[in-house]
Structure formats: C-alpha cells, structure tokens
Structure 1
Amino acid sequence: MSKDYYAILGVSKNATEIEIKKAYRKLALQYHPDRNPDNKEAEEKFREVNEAYQVLSDPQKRAQFDQFGRVFDENGSSGFSGQDFGSTIFEEFFGDVFGDFFGGARGARQRKRPRKGSNIEVNVEIEFLEACFGISKKVKVPKTANCKRCDGTGAEPGGVTTCNTCHGTGQITQRQGFFTLSTTCPQCGGTGEFIKDRCKECKGEGSVREYKTLEVKIPAGIENNMTLRISGGGNDGIYGGPAGDLFVHVKVKEHEYFRREGRNIILDVPISFVDASLGTSLNIPTIDGSETIKIKPGTQPDEKIVLKGKGVPDVQGYGIGNMIINLKVVIPTKLSKKQKELLETFKKESNEDTYSSEKSLWEKMKSFFNS
C-alpha cells in the first residue's frame, strides 16, 4: 500500500511550499535520533518524514504523487522502498546548525561521517510505441564524481595534517565567566584536519565533473510524465557515503493516429455512410501490426468496436488493455449529379421501415413536420 505523504506531514493536499517546510521542520526536530536515542519508533518516523518531504518539496515529484500515488523506479515499481533517507535531507535543510545546537564534539564528527550523494534529475523523451512496449535508452548524465587521484579528500597523497588551531578536535573552546562556549573551528571547518598540499587533479575540491552514460530500462506501459528512479545513479557520496539516485522524467510523444486512455488504445476510423449502411470489412493498424474488422450493416456514427488484449500492458504487470475503435461516419460535402439523383431515388423509397432501429424517433419527427 502506498504511503500518504500529506498525512505523514500533517498537511492538506493544497498545502503551500511554506506550509510543507514548516511541518517538516517541526516533525524532523521532534523525531531526530539525537533527541530520541535508541528509539526505533522515532527513527522510523524520522525516515518517513524525510521521505515525505523529499517528494512534496519537489514540484515534479509532488505532481507525480498526486496523479499516481507513487513514484516509479526503472523496473516500473514504486520508488523509495528500502531507500535510506537517514538524515541526508535533514542536514541539507538545517545545515550544520543542528549539530552545534546539540553541542559537543559530535557536531564536528558528523561533518566527517559518510553522507549520501545528491540526486540528479534528467528528462527523456520517447516515442509512443516505445512507451507501449518498453525500451532501453542510453542517457548521458552530468555527474559529480569523487576525484580518483585524492579519493575525494582534496589533498595530494600525504598532504593532510592535523589542524594546528583546534589540534584535531574540530572545535574551538572559549570560556566566558562561568560558561564554556564551543564553536566550529574556522581554520578546518570542523574536520580537525588541514590540507597543506591540494590535489593537483581536482584543485582541492575533492570531486570532478564528468559525463557518464547510463542505460535506462523503460518498462512497457509507462505513461507520459511518469518518473523512474535509478538507485545509485546520482552524484557520488561524501566521505565514502553511497551515491545519490537518478530520477528520469519520461516524456511520451503523441502518435499520429493512436491515443491512450489508461491501458486502452483509442483509434478513430472514418467510414463512408455507404459502408456504414451496407457493411464492409476494413484492415486497420494496431500497435503491433494490423487487424481486419467487420463493419456491420446499419452501423451508426460513433459506434465502437473493442479488440480485446490489443492495448497496452500495465506498467506494474496487472494485465493488458484493449483497443477501442471509434467509427466516424463521414458525410460527403460534394456530390455529382448522378449521386444526387441516386440519393433522391433512395429518399423516395425510404419510409419508417428503412429506419427501423430508430422507428419511434422517425414517427415522432414525421408527425412533427406534418403538423
């Protein structure tokens, strides 16, 4: 069962961005592990709150959730299951203030602990039939990767030394009367280390920008504006943390003839009024080839023919839709003299029996015009 992210944050579906942020901040502080040590229930609640905020704070993900109630990964399954939200979003939202708020050396140690890399979002456009049957697409993704020369440290081999200002603690302690105030070391930024020789490859940044080509498996039945999550396809993590995720927003092009309604394929087929009256057979295109259909005599405008199992498979494997053919009877606007004469003869020969399927309507209209 999919989660109700609005209920988790305690906001309405019409909540503004400010209301969502306010609700998230309150709940994240309430359930943060630092305030609830060894409390598994609070830890799980904290993860849920972070998960809800990641979806509802992003306009595209929020629209995806509002429409489908879930976000899809590369296999067509709902995203976020088993994902470690931890405190990654919390740290991005609150910054280092939270660590200093709870005080102690833990604030400094947190800055060195492994952190998950940031997510990447890309758009991919596919053809209508590619969405029906699924396809693998190569996507060129701009990524932030850890520098291979320094392994993300930003220093040349042997170029890291203990900070002389804080002596490796990451904090500066000052006494003011009876009070002791600890602040983050301005020299090392709280890491307790100082880079004396910057990496020649990344210029001390610890990371480089590169393009990586990933093969994205787009499942059969995917719909326009659905989003796939590629776990670990995002930017590299910090201090050995896991890579972020890649979110692929799929755009499906419109087809010249077919349109889609859920799992069903809709096709409008024009037929002449003569074929509608006398009946005929037509060979029509389908998404996987062609099919011969029979038009029964006396077919009315907008009658439908349903071809079972000729639609699109459900993106999560729950069956296949149908193909629905809308018969559009075309009335000629230009007639030759001979055609007019034939229609006049047809008109003289017509009576209520000619329109037996609409006999009651025929009688009412005849009575109206003769009154």
Structure 2
Amino acid sequence: MYKSYKIVKRLVIFLTVAAILAIGWLFLFSLDFGQQEVNFGVTFSDKYASDLELNWQESYLAILDDLGVDKIRLIAYWDDIEAIQDQFDFSKLDWQLAEAERRDVEVILTVGRRAPRWPECHDPAWINDLAKLAVQQHQLEFVKETINRYRDRQVVKSWQIENEPLFSWFGKCPKPDKQFLRQEVDAVRALDSRDIIITDSGELNHWQTAAGLADKLGITLYRIVWNKYLGFWDYFFVPPAAYRFKADITGFLNGNLKGVLVTELQMEPWTLDKRMIELTEAQQARSFDLNRFKNNISYVRQAGFNEVYLWGVEYWYWAKQQGRPEIWNEAKKLWQD
C-alpha cells in the first residue's frame, strides 16, 4: 500500500511539473517584442535567378523598382569573379552595386569562399588540386581584392565575411576553421572600418563563437526544414521569444557586439534535392505558400528584430512570371505601405 502511495505521489509531482513547464512554454508564445519598426531587406543571388531560368538583370531591377526594396544583401561569388586564377571579373557585381547606388539602396556585401545558395562553397575549379594552405591564401587574396575594389563605395554599409562559416551540417564545404576565419576578419578590418557581419544558424548553433568575431551577428530563421533522411521538420514548438532571449544573452556575453539581425528569414519552399523549377505547385506548397509568408512575417515581428533580410525573392519573382503573383504582391506591402 505504502509503495503504491509513493508511486502515485511521484506521478502527481511529475505531472504537476510537466504542466507548469507546458504552461510556461505556452506563455512564451504570448510574449511580443515587436514594439519597434522592422527594416526589411532581401538577399539577391544572380546565380539562383539564372537557375530559375530568369533573366537575372531583369529580376534584379524588378526587385529594386517594382518591389521597392531599400536594403539588399549581395554576393561576391568567388567562382564567378575569379574563374581563372589571378584574373578578376567583377562586372556582374559592379552592375548590381551601381543600380542599387542609383536608388539609394543600402547593401550588405557578402564575400568569401562560403556564400549564400547551394552548394554553399562556390569554389573556382582551379583550386581543386591545391593544398589547404594554398587554397586559404588564394581565398584571402580574393577577399582583399573584393574589399579593395568596393571600400570607396558608400552604398556598401557592411561586409559579411563568409556565410555561416562555423556551421558544418550543411553545404559542400571543408570543416569550419575558426582561426582562418579570424584571419579573414582581421584582413578586412585592416582595409576598412565598416561593420563586419558573421552569420550563424539560428536553430542549430549556439552563436557565441561567431558573435565573438563580429560587429554584428546575422542569423537564419527557419520555420520548417527538410532533409532526405527525416523529411520535413516543423519548428512549430519554438516561440519567437526563444530567438529574442538567445539574442539578448548573446549580446550580454559579447560586449563587442552591436546587434543581432536576421540575415536569412525563410521565404521560399524546400526543393527536396531538386531544382525549384522541377517541383510541382503542390510540392512547393508543402513547405511554403502565401499563408506561411504572412505567418513568418508576424513571427519575426514578434521576435523583436529590427533588421530582417528575406530569403527567396527570386522565387517570388519566378512564381509571378508563372502566373502566381500572390507572394510578390504581399511582399510589396512591406516596402510600399
């Protein structure tokens, strides 16, 4: 009898604690830190626009003029710019920056080996047979060449060095190298005084190492992900407050940090190891649609970030060209209302 009483007592205690934790977790969903204006921008990849079989220049101008963005993250792709060793062709990026400059659009310029869009590391073919140290030396020279070319352009407001360089779970890249990343950061600081952004996975990394190297920390924010082993994984259980608290703790622990921004807010479907243009509308809608667009905007507002860059603007334009302008038109409201 006494043994049964102890079992019941432990069960009651366990259920009570579980209920308190559940209520507390639900309470976190009610917290709203969105008391300040959110400055939205987008990331643009000429590579991705071309993969969608779009005219990338036409797409870019539509983003600037029809969508009306006033902040954009651009990318210096190593394999495009230095396809031949020691021969640099910046013509694509020159054009993008010039068009942004004409419209007073603020630019974050991403430079390095690891850059937005698959396969993450955009390697020129000529480095394939080089030793690690030789690759890093060329990589550093590419970074310096890019900074030197654009450091007099006031349209560039910040430098992003690499893209999620300390995150090893995604992309076809070598293992993270914190010491080499520090060399890149030091090299950029020696050339220019503008803020340096280091990015990290919002969901799958702790942020502290990246924050320790940066003036500003950029994070991803994904509400649903996919991989070939687990399929879709929805972060429905993560409240906006979790990102806010993590950002505040990171700022407290890293006195050098001026702020945390969202550099990649999920705003397009997962492609299931295919090209986007190979997916049916139903496959696209499994991980992203107009409702998810609206919900993700509400979510990031509630998390209280004041600078947010949306991921997938090329997809919105492609969908618009396919006769589905709903997401594009909804996005316009962020800059034109």
Band the TM-score falls in, shorter-chain normalisation: under 0.3
TM-score by length of 2: 0.22
TM-score by length of 1: 0.20
| Bigger radius of gyration among the two | 1
Relative to its length, the structure with more strand (as a share) is 1
Higher RCO (CA < 8 A, seq sep 6+): 2
